[in-house]
Structure 1
Amino acid sequence: MSEHPTAAVTSVAQVAVDTRHFIGGERVASAETFTDVSPIDGRPLGEIARGTATEAAAAVAAATSAFPIWAATPPAERARLLGAVADGVEKRLEELAAVETRDNGALLRSHRRGVMPRVAHNFRFFADRLLKLAHEDFETRGHSQHVSWDPAGPCVLITPWNAPLLLATWKAAPALAAGNTVILKPSEWSPLTASLLADIATAAGLPPGVLNVVQGYGPEVGEALVAHPDVRRVSFTGSVPTARRIATAAAAHLTPLSLELGGKSPLLVFADADLDQAVDLAVEQYDNAGQICLAATRLLVEESVAEEFTRRFTERAARLRQGDPRDEATDIGPLIHPRQLEKVDGFVRRALAAGARVVLGGHRSEGPGDRWQDGLYYAPTLLTDVAQDSEIVQEEVFGPVLTLQTFTTEDEAVRLADDTRFGLAATVATGDQERARRVTARLVAGTVWVNCFYVRDLRAPFGGSRLSGVGREGGDWSFDFYCDLKTTVTAPNGWTDGRIMGENGRADHG
């Protein structure tokens, strides 16, 4: 099969992908479509159903109708079905990896070895966690108090383009495990693997309406979803401006939100650090062409080792190979979209005009083919001589662009690290364990890595501080968000005249 879009099904990397919505267990077309284009070579991948408020209402209605049955499904059965979804992901791992690479331009080797196995693990982890979910009962004046997690209802999950299926299942797995129904709205720049997930879920036996997928643009279908009165949870990963619009739309019905937003994370390199390890950590920030919210894009290096660090960094980064992400030898692929390329290049040009100095890169780079696709490749870039209050230091670029600043004291390092509106993550490179404790305690961040990067355990809470987000997901924190917690208090003396008897036999009416 060659890549060729049709009205309902397209072939991508020799995998058939349905381009319609998935609502109530059925494929649903829209009156209009939008074109999904590969960032690798600019070729159209398919004409995707373009949702509106009509499809949003239909998806919420399907999820609302399916909710009572799914919520009443015993936890062990829900866990079994989610395990079957994980099995389906593993069976189609190569297909999912190939399609997502074609769709968003991330490395095929990363999708094969890390991303798609983690997708399956998301389902297995939360299925297993569901069966272990418990809180010890406690006693108050002889009264027994029991905590339980009740399914909340239909959940809208809005996911970004940089890690489409990984982040979709990071949200969908706990929401489904908790007994909720889901409406998944993928990014219009990378919608294809969400459609394949719907097929996998159906084959695994999820009842109709439990998982729905609605495609399209945020203003046309996303806002209608989050503003719907029957939606009981909204989880969003993306930009701060979009989060503000989502929060406004959800406010009318006080729909609870979980928001994982942007970052401008620091990497603090102290003179006592293993410098080669610190350089490796810094170069790792170019992963996925810098299109990672957690990336430590601000390198803060102790002045006494800054020159040597910079020398080693530029030598190491210069060896990165940029090109077709389907090639096993490629280290950096393209940016996702021409608009993203213009955004990244604009940040760099304005920084240079403001006095920044290019140490590495600072320009568009040649890609592996024709002129159109060459335009989406941006060279790994390092800028120095940047002011702390400058745009390039304060705003998220979301591309392969790092800045380097120096410090002389621990206090100065922490002050620079914390001096942005964000607080998603931070990385510390030091050989001093006590310093690591002092510094991490003062950093404003949802996650801090010490002498490592991007190590994430699903048992841990994840989210950001300040403008980097609201709330935490992961482990039991996910169930806390996707459920309504209930406390049941039972009297020690039984029931008398229809009232619960309290202390000294008196009826406690609250």
Structure 2
Amino acid sequence: MPLPNHVHVAGYDVCTDHYINGKRVTSDSHFEIHCPIDQRRLGEVAEGRDEHVEAAIQAAQAAFPAWSALTAAERLPYLQRYAEEIGKRAEMLCTVESNDAGILLSRMRHGVVPRAMQNILWFAQHALDLQNRPIDTEQAHHLVRHDPAGVAVIITPWNAPLMLSTWKLGPALAAGNTCILKPPEWAPLTCSILADAADAAGLPAGVFNVVQGIGATTGAALVRDPRVARISFTGSVPTAKLIAQAAGANLVPCSLELGGKSPFIVLEDADLDGAAATAALMYRNAGQVCLAGTRLLVHRGVADTFVAKMRALVEGLVVGDPREEATEVGPIIHPRQVERVKGFVDRAVVGGATLLWGGGPHPFGAQYFQPTLVTDLKQDDEIVQNEVFGPVLTLQTFDDDDEAIALANSTDYGLGGVCYGETTHATALAERVRTGFIWVNSFGIRDLAAPFGGIKRSGIGREGGDWSFEFFSDIKDVVVPKKPFRASFAHR
């Protein structure tokens, strides 16, 4: 039997209460969570109401003066211990998130959990370099400071709860802010484990808080509060618009990392084996990856060969239980998302599109969808223009570079991209794609020092490196003149 106010997941008991001011706090209201692997009910999670939001904001405010007064060097040991405590819970985090969000267990073990630890450690170390940055001019010495901003609200999505929570928490805490994390309601459990790790690491009460709940109520109450200094959100465009409206009323800075409809360009001089292998990776996490290159744009002269090579790889993909080592494509998170994905494909076919493979539910289970490729599309088709967020790719062909660029830049999104071709050629073309980042002859290479984010409907702001600290800090210039200063109306 699970402990009171816990759910039992594959041998692990996970607390389902909020974490506020260093203590677990229950609620009279709860919401259900289900396992996407087999739709079984995992249990109930405490739902944040106004009183929980108020308590979390008060706790974060009260903890801010002492936490922000520490230097980056003084905060470093806390965050090092936090990363260590995350590492101690590695297998628990892997198992729970695989059951809660349907993410491949192998990917959790070899990619996500090591990255989660790195997210905390790297930003804690990088903060040491941002204490004071001098700028020397003819008139004055400038000392540029990154001062803590205040209470930061962090809202993360269900497709990567652990990785994206730590990706935001790392710089927010290292910069000296106190934080309130609102987990995704479809996959909240690893965020609760992050609270246990923070408690074990000795983070002072109120520095890190977790308030669970539904976005339209709990999330809305957090983002509209004028005491919040920063809001960092990853998720959908419609939700981001609501957050931006609420934040705008209080002039609170927002970082919004949103959807993608990224081009995957295959040039005539591309390594087709490499391009096909990378294209098959776009079905990873059942296509629930915002930065995936979901629009295959292939030179007409190599399209048939490319499709044949990719088909052979896709036919070999193992769709199934994400807890099995051999599985390569797992479930879609929720029945509503399955219907959304199926609707995109069905409407495309009715509109005259051709299915090259896939196109419907997978026999493995109700929340599994076949890896799908759709072609014979019009540029204004919704499946070309809008994010599907499932294992569905589209295929279009082009005859020259200008047409490739026109197709690549034809949507309202601009998050990522991929370009395969002879390196010089592919690099030159990649520079013309309107997007926040683009990989040449590769995919998924990430460095915490590099900027990450999109343009157009794919978001506002950049995360990573100095960009994260610029968002989570108040930048202050301390100006000391080199010569004696005498005030006059000439000085402006």
Corresponding residue to 1:449 among 430, 439, 443: 439
- Are 2:228 and 1:238 aligned? no
Corresponding residue to 1:502 among 465, 485, 489: 485
SS at match of 1:445: coil
Contact 1:6 1:46 in 2 (8 A): no
Moved over 4 A (4+): 4-7, 505-510
Question: Aligned residue for 1:172?
Answer: 169
SS at match of 1:10: strand
Question: Aligned residue for 2:306?
Answer: 309
Question: Aligned residue for 1:270?
Answer: 267
Q: Please give the residue correspondences for 1:273-292 in structure 2 after superposition, counting only pairs within 5 Å.
A: 273-292=270-289
Contact 1:5 1:47 in 2 (8 A): no
Question: Aligned residue for 2:451?
Answer: 461
**Equivalent residue letter for 1:455:** I
Q: Please give the residue correspondences for 1:65-214 in structure 2 after superposition, counting only pairs within 5 Å.
A: 65-133=62-130, 136-214=133-211
Question: Aligned residue for 1:59?
Answer: 56
- Are 2:478 and 1:481 aligned? no
Q: Which runs of 5+ in 1 are unaligned?
A: 368-373, 494-500
User: 1:442 Cα deviation (Å)?
Assistant: 0.9
**CA separation in 2, counterparts of 1:420 and 1:229?**
35
- Are 2:412 and 1:421 aligned? yes
Corresponding residue to 2:394 among 391, 398, 403: 403
Q: TM-score, normalised by structure 1?
A: 0.94
Q: TM-score, normalised by structure 2?
A: 0.98
User: 1:366 Cα deviation (Å)?
Assistant: 1.4
1:150-193 residue CA offsets vs partner (Å, 9 max, x unmatched): 00000000000000010000001100000000000010000000
**CA separation in 1, counterparts of 2:8 and 2:343?**
35
Question: Aligned residue for 1:22?
Answer: 19
Contact 1:125 1:458 in 2 (8 A): yes
**Equivalent residue letter for 2:263:** P
Contact 1:502 1:508 in 2 (8 A): no
User: 1:107 Cα deviation (Å)?
Assistant: 0.3
1:56-83 residue CA offsets vs partner (Å, 9 max, x unmatched): 1111111011000100122112111111
User: 1:508 Cα deviation (Å)?
Assistant: 8.0
- Are 2:429 and 1:439 aligned? yes
**CA separation in 2, counterparts of 1:147 and 1:132?**
12
User: 1:141 Cα deviation (Å)?
Assistant: 4.0
- Are 2:372 and 1:375 aligned? no
**CA separation in 2, counterparts of 1:366 and 1:116?**
30
Contact 1:60 1:230 in 2 (8 A): yes
**Equivalent residue letter for 2:387:** E
User: 1:384 Cα deviation (Å)?
Assistant: 0.7
**Equivalent residue letter for 2:228:** V
**CA separation in 2, counterparts of 1:117 and 1:88?**
12
User: 1:438 Cα deviation (Å)?
Assistant: 2.1
Q: Which runs of 5+ in 2 are unaligned?
A: none
Contact 2:72 2:131 in 1 (8 A): no
User: 1:140 Cα deviation (Å)?
Assistant: 3.7
Superposed CA RMSD = 1.4
Contact 1:5 1:46 in 2 (8 A): no
User: 1:506 Cα deviation (Å)?
Assistant: 6.3
SS at match of 2:417: strand
User: 1:5 Cα deviation (Å)?
Assistant: 5.4
**CA separation in 2, counterparts of 1:484 and 1:136?**
14
Corresponding residue to 2:403 among 412, 415, 418: 412
SS at match of 1:267: strand
Question: Aligned residue for 1:335?
Answer: 332
Cα 1:254/1:161, change in 2 over 3 Å: same
**Equivalent residue letter for 2:162:** L
1:338-392 residue CA offsets vs partner (Å, 9 max, x unmatched): 000000000000000001101110010112xxxxxx1100000001101111001
User: 1:491 Cα deviation (Å)?
Assistant: 2.4
1:257-303 residue CA offsets vs partner (Å, 9 max, x unmatched): 00000000010001111100000110000000000000101000000
Please identify, of 99-108 and 52-61, the stretch whose mean Cα deviation from structure 2 is larger: 52-61
1:79-138 residue CA offsets vs partner (Å, 9 max, x unmatched): 111111111111111111000000000100000010000000001100110112256422
User: 1:13 Cα deviation (Å)?
Assistant: 1.7
**Equivalent residue letter for 1:460:** A
**Equivalent residue letter for 1:320:** L
User: 1:437 Cα deviation (Å)?
Assistant: 2.9
**CA separation in 1, counterparts of 2:180 and 2:307?**
47
**CA separation in 1, counterparts of 2:370 and 2:135?**
58
**CA separation in 1, counterparts of 2:136 and 2:449?**
28
SS at match of 1:209: coil
Contact 1:5 1:45 in 2 (8 A): no
SS at match of 1:403: strand
**CA separation in 2, counterparts of 1:446 and 1:115?**
22
Contact 2:135 2:144 in 1 (8 A): no
Give the percent of matched residue pairs that are identical in Structure 1 and Structure 2.
52
Contact 2:32 2:45 in 1 (8 A): yes
**CA separation in 2, counterparts of 1:135 and 1:275?**
49
**CA separation in 2, counterparts of 1:91 and 1:508?**
62
1:38-59 residue CA offsets vs partner (Å, 9 max, x unmatched): 0011112121001122211111
Contact 2:98 2:108 in 1 (8 A): yes
**CA separation in 2, counterparts of 1:142 and 1:461?**
32
SS at match of 1:442: coil
Contact 1:88 1:204 in 2 (8 A): yes
SS at match of 2:111: helix
**CA separation in 1, counterparts of 2:343 and 2:402?**
32
Contact 2:267 2:426 in 1 (8 A): no
**Equivalent residue letter for 2:113:** M
1:299-321 residue CA offsets vs partner (Å, 9 max, x unmatched): 00000010111111111101001
**CA separation in 2, counterparts of 1:37 and 1:267?**
34
User: How many residues are treated as equivalent by the alignment?
Assistant: 492
